[in-house]
Amino acid sequence: MDTAVLIKVSLLMLAGGLGALSRYVLVGVIQEMAGSSFPLGTAAVNLLGCFLFGFIVTLIDERMILPPGMKPYLLTGFMGAFTTFSTYAFETASLIRYSQWVWAAANILGHTLLGLALLVLGMVLARAI
Each residue's pLDDT tens digit, 29-65: 999 999 987 778 888 898 899 899 888 888 898 888 8
Angle at 55 between CA 60 and CA 99, to 5 degrees: 90
Q: Is the CB of residue 14 less than 8 Å from the CB of residue 27?
A: no
The per-residue DSSP string of 74-97 comes to: IIIIIIHHH-SHHHHHHHHHHHHH
Which tens digits make up the pLDDT trace of 12-21?
Answer: 999 999 999 9
